[in-house]
Every structure is written in structure tokens, then in C-alpha cells.
Structure 1
Amino acid sequence: MTAETQFFATCPKGLESLLLDELKALGAQEVRETVAGVYFSGDIKKAYEVCLWSRLANKVLMPLVQERADTADDLYRVARAIDWQQYLKPSGTLMVDFSGENRNIRNTQFGAVKIKDAVVDCFRDDTGERPDVAKRDPDLRINARLSRGNITIGLDLCGESLHRRGYRKSQGEAPLKENLAAAILIRAGWGKADHNEALLDPMCGSGTFLIEAAMISADVAPGLMRSGFAFQRWPTHDTNAWQELREQAQSRKRHGLERELPEIRGYDANLGVIRAAEENITRAGFDDWLRVSRKELREFVKPTHKAMPHGIIVTNPPYGERLGEIEAMKSLYRHLGERMREEFTGWRAAVFTGNPELGKQMGVRAQKKYKLFNGTIASELLMFAIEPEYTVQNRAAPVGPSEQLNEQGEVVLSNGAQMLLNRLQKNAKKLKSWRKRSGATCYRLYDADMPEYACAIDVYEGVVDGTNTIRRQVHVQEYQPPRSIDEKGAAERFKEIEAAVPIALDVAPESVSFKQRRRNRGVMQYEKLHEKPMGELLQVQEGNARLLVNLWQYLDSGLFLDHRPLRLRIAAEAKGKRFLNLFCYTAAASVQAALGGARFTLSVDMSQTYLNWASRNLAMNGLSESRNRLEKADCVAWLKSAEQKFDLIMLDPPSFSNSKKMLDVLDVQRDHVSLIHQSMNLLDEGGVLYFSNNLRSFKLDEEALSGYQIEDISKATIDQDYSRNQKIHQCWRITAL
């Protein structure tokens, strides 16, 4: 079969122009682009070469006939006229891929059966034998497409899709197809630039980008590792031409691997997929060139073992599907953008995402965007030059103080409000040196120091989530007024608090969240005086951790400030340990443990809202949930059946809970002994349990717990900003005797 023939190479939508360029480079003739594919002409050897060398195509099809077909009889007639013995032996097997429909042919299976019948009858009439149908690995794969009244019948030269190179037996949860990965690399300019350019993938999964990049650099034909192609089973197969092509490809591979390959490295937080990547790399024959290692995104830095002045980051981050996942992914993308800006100035980056909106979180302006499809998912390839001029700046001007003015423009406060203002400024001055030493950006400034102004005032300084806007926000929570104070008097005092706080702390009134208790039908409730959108969260710093707080939507902010010393103690002790966080809330302690080098963390809480929040906290710090698992469960019930061992446990139950999600009411005074016993059963040898609660009247049952070594560390876990309230919590360090 040496005559010029027309072929059709299929590809994912969005890759047509790249495939056209690739086919031209391979010497194909009469190349013409269409939707999801490219037509080309050449002899059969050229078609073999495309099957062997195309990095982008899914299939190579050879049309045999195209005719008008309105009925099922027409399908049969057109197929029956083809000389099938050129392509299939009577004893062989076949399968028909049929697509399309019209008024008379409404079922693809029916259309496939009519063509199969024609092929079988052809052999039965001519040879007395008939081939069988095979649903898997047939000797002949027939492709039939009914469109606009015409039936096109052709042969599939490939068998399995060309994206299946043969090296990937192990894969992650959502792997990119190999030809899409190759297209992304080609779009990113890989292989065209300096051969010394490095390539890094911080979320490499099963290593597809790395292997495809190495194959491009080493000039390795993508089809060399495949077990075979469909055309090899045709009776008219040109064995000599095929053998020549394979030998040429093998020679090019040897020469390619003799050259020094660029630095290509991959990282992933999931040890399981790193193992899969190692297997795939070995199977592809690149184990002497490619390196992968387990690394959290927060640890993604430029390698230091050799000079890498420039290079490219290519990655396909997860993008989430449910709301909670998407919110966590925003933090992950922001963290990726930050790593790029801080560590890789002068490099390029190609980020492929199925949720293009997430790309806006990275803080770097994309120079180019390419629309591609990952299967049926509309996606984008974002191209970045990591240079300061492309950094997205969104720093707001400082906010001026709130002022209450008289007719002369002078600030006027009542005597009580002025007295409170003076106390707040005095407290701020006292805490200044401690804040400088400790680095605390979130702290309690006031805690009912003056009984007539019974509230807690916390200051949070950080960055508005999703921007570079620096904010100071203030959280004011009124304590329950004594019944001796009438409602009118309590309301007047609270107005004075509202007036004094913004001026004392130099913030706008809208940056202060006031939560005021009011009697409502005999029940004390918080009234939220300021509503803000859920999206306006503040990203604050605690030690090495970044944590999200929300001062507007919930009673608490998402971060219990009094536990700061305990969380930092856990961070210091967590290296190499398995950490369990019970009643985890937003998992701030788990983030600290992970950043401290914990081998594994598990955070348990019954609230999906808090677990979604915890997921965002993890993602913001570049921590994966494969090593930092979140579990929705009632901790009381969970403890009764848990068996996994841990080295470090934090047990911080609420004082009381009668949630409908729980099987029973939780009373920490009544239930603490059983909670501690069950938690201690999960401690491995040498492990430590930290038990804490904030019930002021709580008494530890030391007699019932006499089998343990118990140390009261309450004072050591109360920082200077809580020195005015030594009963904010009680905390014990518990170990086995």
C-alpha cells in the first residue's frame, strides 16, 4: 500500500493547531485542520510514522469509503462493498465503533450491528468462514460515522488510544492524559528553549508531566513502549516499513539519552502518588534522569544542588468540585502563587486548571491563556512570566480613625467612653514589648478590666483573604450583663464601647465586629450588629502558620487566642509524630503540628462548616489532606471505636453540648474521665495527651485518673495578653506512668 491515502488524526478539542504543526513536522501532506482532528495525506508508512511519533493525537483513522446513507439497508450496502480481506483474516476478530444518527437510524448499537453483519456476510460468502466479534482487543477495529446523511467507514490504525504510551500503570485520582500533558508542555515552549532550562512540578501526581517532558527532551517516540498497534494485524501490513521506523526511533532514543537531559523534578504531598510516579518513571526508562520526592507545597523552593537561573514550573493543581473544596483550593492557588513569587523570580510557569477562576487567586497576572478540554471539562492553560511587574498589587490605603465631632470639628466622647479609651491605650502600651518578642498579631487587648464595661476585645491584624490588603480588625463580645444592670443602662454602656474602640485602636467602625448579648424571650442571645459577606475573611499569622478568621458570621472567630501557647508547644513537639486533634474546630492546632513536622495529623469534628474551614487552613499553608486528614464525626462516639495509635493528642472538648448530631449530651465535668481514658488508649508508648477546657468551675477527678502522670500546665499555657484572666482555661499534660 504505497499510494497516497487520506488519513484523519483525532485529538482533544483545543489541540488541533498543535497537531497540525506536529503533522507538518512529520512530513505529512495536504494537512487540514477541523474540529477535534486534522486530515492529512501520505502513504501507509507515513501513517505508521504518525502512530509512532505523534505526542498529541488520540487516533489515526484511514477512511475507506464515504457515501450517502439514509437507511439501515444503505449502511449494509456500503459496508458490504468493501474488500475486507485486505485488513482481516477469516479467523480474526472485529469491533465496530459507530457514531451518529438520522431519522431511520436512531441507535448507535443498531448502526454498528448492520455494518458488522455486512463484514461477516462478506467473509461467509467468499470463504465460508466468518470472523467473530470481540469487545476487547480485536484484530480489526472499524470506525463508522454517520453525519449529514453520509456514512464514512474507515479503519482505526491504533487500537488503544495513542495517549496510552504504555508507561503509566499507576496513577493518581485525576491523572491528565499523556497527550494533553504533552500539549501543555509544547504550548509552554518546552523543548524549544535553552536545553539547560529546568522543569519543576510541585504537584506532580503520577509524574505524567515529568515523563512527557523527558520524552520530548530525549527525542523518544511516544509509541515505542506500546505493546502494539491495530495495523500490525492486517494481512497487508508492511512489516519492513514498520521495522525500519522502529529501528530509526530506537536509534534516536539512544542518541537522545546519551545527551545530558535538563533538570526535571517533581514533588507531591501524597506519598502514595509519589510511589506511583516512581514506578511510572522506571517503566518509562527514565529512573536515572528524573527525580520525585514527597514534599508539601509550602516546602516548594528552587533546588540548591545546582545553579538554576531560569526554568519553568508546569503543574495541574486540583480544582475542587464542591463549595467547601473550592474554598480550600483558593488558598492552595494563592499559596502556589506566593511560592512562585518568592522563590522563582525570572522563571516561567504553566498552570493548567479545570476552574480558571482559581487562577485569579495566584497574585500573578497571566500573560497568555489557552482554552483546552480535559475530557469534557472546559479548562484553561495559564502562562506566567514570574516577574515583579506581573505581580497583582491590591494594597489598600490605611484606614483613618472613626471620629465623632462637635460643631467645631473636635472629637467628643462621654466620660465613660473616654475612660475606656484610656484603658485600651494603656493596655496596648503594656503589651507592645511582649507582642514584639512573641510576634503575636492577634491578641486579647481587654477582658472586662472595668466591670461596668463587661466585654472582651480582641485585635486581629492580617491580610484580607484573596488580596494583599492589610487590615486591622477588632472583635468585641459583650459578656452577659448582671441582672442588677437594667437593659437601658447596659445599652448605654455598649454605645460607649462602640464609640471608644475605633478611636482607641485607630480603625474604621466597619472594621469592628460587635457581638452584643440581649435578652430575647427569656433567652440570652448574641445580636450581630454588623453583617459582612462570608468571603471577607482575614488571614492572620501565628508562629509559622497562616490561619483564617471570620469576625462577622459566627459567635467565635475561628481561632481561640487563649490556646496560642498550647498550639505553639504542639508545633515544637510534633516533629515525626502522629497527631490527633479531637473537637478540632478549625484545626489550627493540626496546622501547627503539620508545620512542625508531624508525620500525620487527624482532625475530628462533627461540624462540616468547621471542617471546610479547616480544609482552607491546611491549603493556605500548602498542606495536603492526604497527610492531614479531616474526619466528620461525633468525637464521643468516635473515641469508643477508634483503634489507630498516636504520639500526640489534643483533647479540648466544649463545656457542654447537646447538638442534635450527637447521640448523647456532652458534659465535660461528668464525661472528662471517660474521654481521657479513651484518648489515652490511643496513645502509643511515650505519647502525650494535652487535655484542656474552659469551664470555670471544672474540677479534675484526680482519683479516677490516678493511673496516669498528670501535670497542670495551665499557667504555662496562658500568655501575657490573658494575664488578667487566669481562669480563661485549664490545661493538663497527661502521660502513662
Structure 2
Amino acid sequence: MQQLNEKFLMFYNRLLKVYKHLSKQAARQGIACYRVYDHDLPEFPLLVEIYESKLYVAEYKRRHEMSEDAHEAWLEQCKAVMSEVLSVKIEDIYVRMRQRKAGRLGQYQKLEESKSEFVVTENGLQFIVNLVDYLDTGLFLDHRVTRQMVRELSKDKKVLNLFCYTGSFSVYAAAGGAKEVVSVDLSKTYLVWADRNMRLNFPEFKSHSIVHADVKQELGRMQDGAFDIIVMDPPTFSNSKRMDDFLDIQRDHAELINECVRLLSPDGVLFFSTNFRKFQIEHEKIKASNIKDITKVTTPFDFSGKLHRYCFKISK
């Protein structure tokens, strides 16, 4: 690598230090997809995730006061540093621009039509990821531990996955021996993706239902006590034209949780999570026997000290 100036040398050293630490933990746990950098240095507002032999890089939008050419040169130098430190080919580094927002806004936004898909493995299960066509990759790495929790509880259970995205929780439930899995989302694109993920892992699993619906409406149509496990990971805010009303998770979470509790069997549990940084759970409005904050225990090693989401295990 060419001689680095002081600023890029700082980025090089930081990335190398973090990667040495995290790669050892990843190797011990047999994990090949993990986050390695998230805006550690103000001068380098990047998010970097490893997906086996490829890199997903998101640049947070900012006023960098660089010309277009200067910014392009800056980005190319960043890629050269990442390629060197992380041993990834330049052509296997995929860069996206994203705004720093409270929650997973814009996850349904399609960016390109390249169909740049490949399959990665997590805990013995396979998932289709796409580092080019969408703002998010298809696999939220921060829920790795929570997914495994659901897997361990799913034996002979009926599982409902709300705001299911690409169905990773549904696949984990099937892997745990679930009797039935229902995946609900408003995006047909992601429901197809969820179905493909399920078929990729369990082509003979016949008890996976795909429901294209607004979750708030669908919950009202479901029967009391129908499920043993419910997973709900909603966006912070959504105002899709296909919805009767907009969703605001701070305003609506108690109502959504209470509807989920109604659907739970007597010993059922709800895993509820949100990426809204200022979220405050309204205990007094929730009709459940126990609300346990499991944010800390579900935080993966690569998100330690940097996880901006909350996770709760709620018992009927």
C-alpha cells in the first residue's frame, strides 16, 4: 500500500486494532458475518460489515465540504485501507450512502436492479444477502443472538414473525423444530425473499405461511391464544400508502404489544425490539405478567457498546 497521510493512517490503525480483536471472537464462535466498524472516528463516518469474503460499507450522509472529485478520491483511499486491513478484494467492497436515522427507515427502498445476491451462513443456516440493490443487506446482524434464543424455544411451537423482513427469525424457528411458522410483512418483495430463505434451508417444511398485510390490521383478524412465540421488530415509523394509518412505534407500541399478548398461548412469549434510540417502554399500559429487558444479553460481541436498539421478552 502507498504511504498514508496522518489522517488515513489513523483510520488504518483503528480498523486494524478493532479487526484483530473482533476477528478472534468471530473465529471462536464460528461467525463469518459481523460488523467491524461503525463511525469509530469522526473523520471516517462509515459503517463496515463483513459478509464472509465481501464487505458492506455504508457512508453516513454528512456535510463533508469536499468536491465530488475529492470525495471520490477520499472514498477510494478508504476502500484501499479496508482492502488491505480486512484482506478483501477492492471489487468485493460494496459502498452505500445512508442517512443516520432513528430506526430502520427506508429499509424497503430499492436502489438498483443488479440482482447482486449471494448466500452466507450463520449458525449452520443459510441466508440470501444483497449488498447492492437495497439500503439494507437482508440480514440484520444485531439480532444474531435473539434469533438463536427463538430457535432454542421453538420446538413444537407455533411461531408468528411480524414485520418479518426477509424471514431470518422464521428460518431459525423452523430450525428449532417449530410446528408452524407465520411470516407477516407489508412488502411483497421481502415476503418472497423470506420464502426463498425458508426453501433454501428447509425445502420440505410445509408449515410456513406468508401473509402480505399491514401488521396492525392483521393482528385484529387473528385468534386469541393462537401462537406460542411471537417476534415483533417493527420500523420506528412507517407511512406506506398501503396502510390505513401510519405507524409510530413510541406512540403505538403498547397497543401492538397488547394485541400480541392477546394472541399468545398461556405460557407464550413475545420478543419485541425497536431501533428507536429515544424509546421508552410504557409498562403501565401493557397487559402482560412480565416484561424483561434483554437488550444486554442479546447484544452480539460486534455491537458491544454501540448497539442502538432495545429488546424485550414479554410473557403473557
Structure 1 length-normalised TM? 0.40
The answer on 1:661 being equivalent to 2:242 is: yes
Shift of 1:716: 0.6
Could you say what secondary structure the match of 1:424 adopts? Answer: helix
The answer on 1:433 being equivalent to 2:24 is: yes
Amino acid at match of 1:674: E
Aligned to 1:652: 233
Shift of 1:707: 4.2
Aligned to 2:156: 576
Aligned to 1:708: 289
Shift of 1:624: 4.2
Take 1:624 and 1:672, find their aligned partners in 2: how far apart are those partners?
A: 36
Q: State which of 586, 593, 602 in structure 1 corresponds to 2:182.
A: 602
Take 1:532 and 1:674, find their aligned partners in 2: how far apart are those partners?
A: 37
Take 1:513 and 1:704, find their aligned partners in 2: how far apart are those partners?
A: 44
The answer on 1:486 being equivalent to 2:41 is: no
Q: State which of 698, 701, 720 in structure 1 corresponds to 2:301.
A: 720
Q: State which of 206, 215, 220 in structure 2 corresponds to 1:640.
A: 220
| Structure 1 residues 105-120: aligned runs within 5 Å | none
Aligned to 2:193: 613
Take 2:228 and 2:155, find their aligned partners in 1: how far apart are those partners?
A: 10
Shift of 1:432: 2.7
Q: Deviations over 1:364-416 (max 9, x none)?
A: xxxxxxxxxxxxxxxxxxxxxxxxxxxxxxxxxxxxxxxxxxxxxx6233332
Aligned to 2:39: 448
Take 2:162 and 2:204, find their aligned partners in 1: how far apart are those partners?
A: 19
| Structure 1 residues 419-568: aligned runs within 5 Å | 419-461=10-52, 472-481=53-62, 483=63, 485-488=64-67, 491=71, 493-517=74-98, 533-534=114-115, 536-568=116-148
Aligned to 1:688: 269
Shift of 1:513: 0.8
Could you say what secondary structure the match of 1:516 adopts? Answer: strand
Structure 2, unaligned runs of 5 or more: 100-105
Distance 1:488 1:715, change over 3 A: farther
Take 1:706 and 1:632, find their aligned partners in 2: how far apart are those partners?
A: 27
Take 1:638 and 1:493, find their aligned partners in 2: how far apart are those partners?
A: 47
Take 1:589 and 1:716, find their aligned partners in 2: how far apart are those partners?
A: 17
Shift of 1:671: 0.5
Distance 1:532 1:514, change over 3 A: farther
Shift of 1:455: 1.6
Shift of 1:453: 0.9
Amino acid at match of 1:614: A
Shift of 1:732: 0.4
Aligned to 2:171: 591
Shift of 1:630: 1.1
Take 1:707 and 1:713, find their aligned partners in 2: how far apart are those partners?
A: 16
Amino acid at match of 1:634: D
Aligned to 1:414: 5
Shift of 1:537: 1.5
Shift of 1:487: 4.8
Higher relative contact order (CA 8 A, sep 6+): 2
Could you say what secondary structure the match of 1:562 adopts? Answer: helix
Could you say what secondary structure the match of 2:194 adopts? Answer: helix
Shift of 1:442: 0.4
| Structure 1 residues 9-408: aligned runs within 5 Å | none
Partners of 1:615 and 1:625 within 8 A in 2: no
Q: State which of 234, 258, 262 in structure 2 corresponds to 1:677.
A: 258
Amino acid at match of 2:292: E
Q: Deviations over 1:564-619 (max 9, x none)?
A: 10001101111111110000000000000101111110000111110111111011
Q: Deviations over 1:201-254 (max 9, x none)?
A: xxxxxxxxxxxxxxxxxxxxxxxxxxxxxxxxxxxxxxxxxxxxxxxxxxxxxx
Could you say what secondary structure the match of 1:671 adopts? Answer: helix
Could you say what secondary structure the match of 1:601 adopts? Answer: strand
Shift of 1:631: 1.1
Q: Deviations over 1:120-162 (max 9, x none)?
A: xxxxxxxxxxxxxxxxxxxxxxxxxxxxxxxxxxxxxxxxxxx
Shift of 1:446: 0.3
Take 1:643 and 1:599, find their aligned partners in 2: how far apart are those partners?
A: 17
Structure 2 length-normalised TM? 0.90
Could you say what secondary structure the match of 2:279 adopts? Answer: coil
Aligned to 1:398: none
Shift of 1:554: 0.2
Identity of aligned residues (%): 39
Q: How many residues align?
A: 305
Partners of 2:288 and 2:314 within 8 A in 1: no
Q: Deviations over 1:631-650 (max 9, x none)?
A: 11111111111116000010
Take 2:247 and 2:146, find their aligned partners in 1: how far apart are those partners?
A: 23
Amino acid at match of 1:503: E
Take 2:266 and 2:217, find their aligned partners in 1: how far apart are those partners?
A: 24
Could you say what secondary structure the match of 2:292 adopts? Answer: strand
Shift of 1:724: 3.4
Amino acid at match of 1:691: F
Could you say what secondary structure the match of 1:690 adopts? Answer: strand
Take 1:414 and 1:511, find their aligned partners in 2: how far apart are those partners?
A: 25
Take 2:43 and 2:235, find their aligned partners in 1: how far apart are those partners?
A: 28
Amino acid at match of 1:434: Q
Partners of 1:416 and 1:496 within 8 A in 2: no
Take 1:611 and 1:666, find their aligned partners in 2: how far apart are those partners?
A: 19
Distance 1:532 1:663, change over 3 A: closer
Take 2:184 and 2:203, find their aligned partners in 1: how far apart are those partners?
A: 17
Take 1:691 and 1:550, find their aligned partners in 2: how far apart are those partners?
A: 26
Take 2:287 and 2:6, find their aligned partners in 1: how far apart are those partners?
A: 54
Structure 1, unaligned runs of 5 or more: 1-409, 462-471, 519-524
Take 1:437 and 1:412, find their aligned partners in 2: how far apart are those partners?
A: 34
Partners of 1:453 and 1:493 within 8 A in 2: no
Amino acid at match of 2:312: W
Could you say what secondary structure the match of 2:283 adopts? Answer: coil
Determine which structure has more spread, i.e. the larger CA radius of gyration. Answer: 1
Amino acid at match of 2:233: D
Partners of 1:477 and 1:515 within 8 A in 2: yes
Shift of 1:511: 0.7
Aligned to 1:80: none
Partners of 1:449 and 1:724 within 8 A in 2: no
Shift of 1:495: 4.3
Partners of 2:235 and 2:249 within 8 A in 1: yes
Partners of 2:288 and 2:315 within 8 A in 1: no
Q: Deviations over 1:402-448 (max 9, x none)?
A: xxxxxxxx623333223212222211110133112221110000011
Take 1:587 and 1:531, find their aligned partners in 2: how far apart are those partners?
A: 22
Partners of 1:634 and 1:661 within 8 A in 2: yes
Partners of 1:585 and 1:605 within 8 A in 2: yes
Partners of 1:417 and 1:499 within 8 A in 2: no
Could you say what secondary structure the match of 1:676 adopts? Answer: helix
The two structures, once aligned, show a CA RMSD in angstroms of 2.3
